[in-house]
Structure formats: C-alpha cells, structure tokens
Amino acid sequence: MSSRSFVIRTALAISALLVAGQAFSQVLDPRTLTKYMDPLPVPGAMPMAGPNYYEIGVWQIQQQLHSQLPPTTLYGYGTSQATASYPGATIVAQKGVPISIRWTNNLTGPHILDYAIDPTIPKAHTTTGVPITTHVHGAEVEPQSDGGPMTWFTKDFAEKGHDWKKEVYTYANDQLASTIWYHDHAFGYTRHNVYAGLAGFYVITDPGNEPAGLPSGPYDIGLAIQDRMFTVDGQLWYPNVGITDIHPIWIPEFFGDVILVNGKVWPYLNVEPRKYRFRILEGSNARFYSLTLADRATGAPGPAFHQIATDGGYLAEPVLLNDPMNPESPRLVIAPGERAEIIVDFSAYAPGAELVLRNTAKAPFPNGAAADPQTTGQIMLFRVVPLTAPDNSVIPPYLTTVNRLGSPSMTRVMTLNEVTDDGEPTGALLNGMPFHDVPATEYPMLGSTEMWEVVNMTADTHPIHIHLVQFQLLNRQKVNVKKYEGAFEMANPELPTDAYVPVDVGPYVKGKPVPAPANERGWKDTYRMNPGEVTRILVRFAPQDESPSYSFDATAEPGYVWHCHILEHEENDMMRPYHLVNPAAPAQPVAGRTVGAADEARPRLWAPQPNPTASGATFSFSLRAPATVELDIYSVTGQRLRQLANTTFGSGGHTVVWDGRDDAGRTLIPGMYFITLRADGVSTTRKLSVTP
C-alpha cells in the first residue's frame, strides 16, 4: 500500500473528531447498515415552468437515504424546496429543441460541510451564502451558459464570480441523443457541493432517429453511482484531516465506505426476466468502478452487459462485456464523470433469483487498495420477479454510424503533473500550471480537429473532461516516465509555472500504440488517462453532426475549461481555461503566456519576495479595475494572523510590505503560512515559508 493510501485510510478511520470546537458524532461503521432494504428510487422528469423553460433552484433539504438512518441534511435541485431532491429530477430534452433554465440559489450558509473546507485551497470568496453554478456536463452549450467555475453566484445573485454573465442559461440541444448530466461547478466548492447532493441526469432524445426496439419506458432506468460516508446520526461526513501541513484539510482523493445509487444506500431493484436498459452515471468524487453481476447465493457470474452508448451517444454496434462464459471478457470500467449505457438480459433467471452488482476497482485507481467485498465491493441488488408483459425489445446488431474524426490540423502535448512535499501530494496540475491565476494557453481554432497527446506522469488514472466538445480516443502508449519527466523538468524547472514549455513525447514512448477498445470507440467527453502512458485523443471543436460551426458563438467570453474529474484534483489545481478563436482571428501560440481579455480581468497575486523569509516580505498584486482588496496571512490551521489590507486600490500593480509580525505585534514563528488576496469575488492564495 502506498504511503498516501495508508494516510488517507487512517484519516477516514478516525472514530471521533473535534473540528473548530464543534463535536461530531462517531463515523458510522458501514457494516451496521443492512444492505438491500430500500427500493431503488428512479428520478422523475423535471417539470417545466413554461414552454421549453425551467426554473430550477438549489435548496437545503432533508432526505432519508437508508431505512436505518434518520434523515440526512443535503443540498438538492428542484422547482421548490418541497420538490428538491438528491439526485435532482431528470431534465429530458429533445435534439434540435433548445431550452432555457433559470438556475437559482436558495442557500444561505454556512455550508453543511463547512468544517471540511480547506482555507488554503483557492475558492470563491463570499459573505452572503454558499456559492453555486450549474454545469451541464457533456453539453454543446454557449460559454455564457456553460456553468464554468467562475460563473458562481450566491442567493439572489448578491455576489457573483467575475465570469458570471446572466441568470437564464440556454441549451441548444443540437448534439446526438445521449445521457449527459448536470452538477455544481462553483470555484473551490465543487467537491463539497456535488458531495452534498447537487447532481442529476440530463437526457437528450432524438425521436425517430434512434435504434428501434431498445428497452424503453419502465425498462429504461438511470443509475447514478456515488460513494459517501456518514456519522452515526445519519449526517454526511467528509474528512477534515489532510496529509500535509501545506493543505491541512485537503485530501488528494475522497473514498467513501458506503455506496449509493440514485440517492439510496445499497438499494434493490425488482426486475422481470426480460431486457433492461441502464444508463450508468459515475458521479463519485474520486472512486472508479469495475462492474460485474454475480449470483448472490452462489457467486457465479451473472448476465453479460451489452454496452450500447458512451458519454456522447450510441456506439456503432453493441459491445459484449462481462461474458459469463469467458473469464477474460473485458469489464465495464467507469471513472468519475463518465457514462455508459448497457443492456442486461435477465430472461435466463427465474423469479426469486438475486444478482449483486459488484465492484472490483482499486482506490486510488488502478494501483490502490482493493474494494472491500463487504462494503465498497457491492453496489446494489437485482431481484427477479414474475414477468408482467411480453418482452419485445431487442439488442440490435447495429446502432448507428459513428463518424470517425480525420487527420488533425495540429497536435498539442499536454501533461498531467503531481506536486509533492516530502513525498506526499500537495496538488495536481495540467501542463504544470495552476488554474486560478495563470491565463489560458490553449486557443483552438473553431471548426478545427486537434490531436491532444496527454502524458500522465502521476501514479493515478485521471478522467480528463473537456467542456463543450465530444471527442474520440485514438490510442494509448507506454512512456518512459522517468526520462520524460527529466526532460519536462529541464524545460519547466519550477512547478507550478506560468509559461509551459511542451516536450515532444515521441522519443520517450515504449512499445506500440494500443488502439481504443471496442467500447471506447464512440463519442466521449471524459477519458481515462492511465499512469505511465500517453493517451491520444482527437478533439473536433465543432458540433458532432459535422456542421462547420455551432448555433451560438463559441468564441465568446468567458470561454471554457478542461480538467480532471476527480473533484479533489480539479480544485487543487488540475483545471485550465481554454478559448476558441475564429479562423479569421490572429493566430495564438500553442503554449506560453497568451493573455485573453477575460484573463486580464482577474486580480492576480504574485509570489512573495523573498520566500523563504526570516524578517518580513513584500506582496505584489495587480487589478484590472478599482476594487476592495483584503490581504491576509493565515496559519496552516486556517487561523487569520494578520490583515495587511482591507481597502480600495486602483487599477494596475500594487505592493504591500509586511514586517513579519501578526496583528498583536508578535513575530511569527518559523513554519508555513498562506497569503490570501480577495478582490472582485476572487480568492487567490500563495505559500510563504518563515525561517528562523
């Protein structure tokens, strides 16, 4: 077991904790919950407020997640607090029919997981409540309605992120029929807001143009799989013990010990001996799943999966997974953010049979701790009941034509990096750069196809998600990581950096490229990038239907982001902005410091000078316009020790000199501290080391 896994598992096993003076109940032993007591909830359709118009709010709610637990305090989406739920009701859209949604925030704060929010991780700075912003994951959507991290807002839009544009979002729904989803994406709060319940299905249909004969109606069911932890009194528990002093609360990944499907703990579903279509949504923060069915009584392999669709639509033909007659049959492996649609045929089972949906994926994936067969190794139960009507559905031999993307106009080399301190992770980066204070370096041409070669230099698999587009996997290939990392560090000597220099991966590859497996040859918006490999994807910055351009201006501000969908990575700091440009616009460099208008708008805090220091330092920052600035020094435990500024500064660059003392005039003892600047709704943090 890696030291990281050991520390995380130890932190999660703490039975009683005191946080900020508030006593929390013991963490629940998941084995005390009886499995398969509660039926699987199936979310209904979200009601409209008018023709193709929704009003959907976020509310604090109480919901019972298991019969043996009292109601749990959560956040939920709904048309009112009475209808809000976890997960939210399903938004059902039709291809070619645009809809509008007014998302509202009814959270007054403090956050229900406030004890677990690390003050050293950059986040939205608010005084009027909990920030939210809703992203429809997988949607071809205009930038103003994308729900990017800096479009957050609080109750009644009292405070807003600098990328916020409007109250009513519009969704064109021009893409192929698919199962996508919506979830919160607020800057610095995504991992906690999604964990608290803010997620739901968004299904795009295309009547008359989808494969005929697939299971439908009550035999077409969404399964949102997530892991959680609870206190013995039924409340959500998110660990608040970090693994380094640099981030005293942040953990590299969250792995819960209780599995929920559609908001119920280890539920059951009664199924008839017939075919079912399951739309699987992997909504966990960090846990991967490798799914199979097994007979509950004997452990014998259960029925096969026939995968028919990926994130962005149907495969060309069904792909057989988990063939019970072939132990070498490929499994369904799914990562946070991914979706997979499968057909399972229960017709060979008599009423009374019980089949367990099992998980064998390690955490972290792929080389972490094995799933516990008594807890995280089980997902839900299928109980076979008598047939009520003939099964006329089919598993068609052909589904659709998947237009393969052609030769790219350019290739970009991207990297996945881990930042460590004494061997422990303190953050993750894309291209060695942070998100919150370094401008975009990717400016793809609207309508172009690019190849992204993503080199994973970390020990984990990362599910990388690109907003706006669906893309296709070309191949994966082994890389001599040690040699490549040496070349990367020579080209980029300091991490994080704000001037990424790409390094060609060609001289460092090993063996032959491995083509995409059959069930990954469709459209995807989230791809697994394995450790020690370069993953090559073809990204077309245009609609799936081969139209030359979108029905909206995809080059508008605030642009889009791409990021790891392990939520603890995304927020520290594995996320980067990108902007599309029109073919007629001046060419942008592939890498380097290219500053767009939206990036220049962001207040920036530069690294302290000197650092380390024994007797004070100078802090420099810049503003695009006059703003009230708070500049503070915090300890590693989140205690504010000195307020250096709380006043209005003009546009341009500024410096504040610190004398090395706290607010009481005492000299700070040697150690690690954090300098936080808050201005224009943005919070930015830098580290400062004080020496003897």
CATH of the domain at 625: 2.60.40.4070
pLDDT higher than threshold 90 for residue 177: yes
pLDDT higher than threshold 50 for residue 677: yes
- Final residue belonging to a domain, choices 205, 236, 261: 205
Gap between the Cα atoms of 375 and 266, Å rounded: 9
pLDDT higher than threshold 50 for residue 181: yes
pLDDT at 167: 97
Percent of the chain with pLDDT over 90: 77
What's this model's pTM, rounded to 2 decimal places? 0.86
Residues 52 and 151 in one domain: yes
Least confident of 180-184, 277-281, 311-315, 622-626: 622-626
18: confidence class by pLDDT, cuts 50, 70, 90: very low
The amino acid at residue 269 is: L
Residues 376 and 424 in one domain: no
Whether 116 is covered by a domain: the verdict is yes
Residues 357 and 334 in one domain: yes
Strands 53-63 and 88-94: unpaired
Residue 17's DSSP bridge partners are none
pLDDT higher than threshold 50 for residue 635: yes
- Final residue belonging to a domain, choices 205, 228, 247: 205
Whether 426 is covered by a domain: the verdict is yes
Residue 385 Cα to chain centre, angstroms: 37
Whether 28 is covered by a domain: the verdict is no
Residues 619 and 593 in one domain: no
Whether 475 is covered by a domain: the verdict is yes
Q: Which domain holds residue 146?
A: 3-23+39-205
pLDDT 10s digits, 309-349: 999 999 999 999 999 999 899 999 999 999 999 999 999 99
Residues 299 and 418 in one domain: no
pLDDT higher than threshold 90 for residue 116: yes
pLDDT higher than threshold 50 for residue 198: yes
pLDDT 10s digits, 508-565: 999 999 999 999 999 999 999 999 999 999 999 999 987 778 999 999 999 999 999 9
Residues 301 and 348 in one domain: yes
N- to C-terminal Cα separation, the chain: 36
Residues 163 and 222 in one domain: no
Whether 152 is covered by a domain: the verdict is yes
List the one residue out of 527, 569, 625 whose CA is nearest residue 286.
569
Gap between the Cα atoms of 143 and 577, Å rounded: 12
> Where residue 415 sits, what CATH number does that domain have?
2.60.40.420
Residues 514 and 596 in one domain: yes
pLDDT at 13: 33
Whether 389 is covered by a domain: the verdict is no
The two three-digit tokens of residue 152, written as one number: 């957050």
pLDDT at 373: 97
pLDDT higher than threshold 80 for residue 265: yes
Residues 520 and 595 in one domain: yes
Element (H, E) at 597: helix 597-600
Whether 273 is covered by a domain: the verdict is yes
Residues 376 and 456 in one domain: no
Residues 575 and 649 in one domain: no
Whether 507 is covered by a domain: the verdict is yes
The phi, psi pair for 427, rounded to 5°, reads: 170, 170
Average pLDDT across the chain, whole number? 91
Q: What is the mean pLDDT of residues 399-417?
A: 93
Residue at token pair 């020579």: 490
pLDDT at 422: 81
pLDDT 10s digits, 34-55: 999 999 999 999 999 999 999 9
Residue at token pair 């399951």: 278
Q: How many domains does the chain have?
A: 4
- Final residue belonging to a domain, choices 205, 227, 242: 205
Residues 169 and 282 in one domain: no
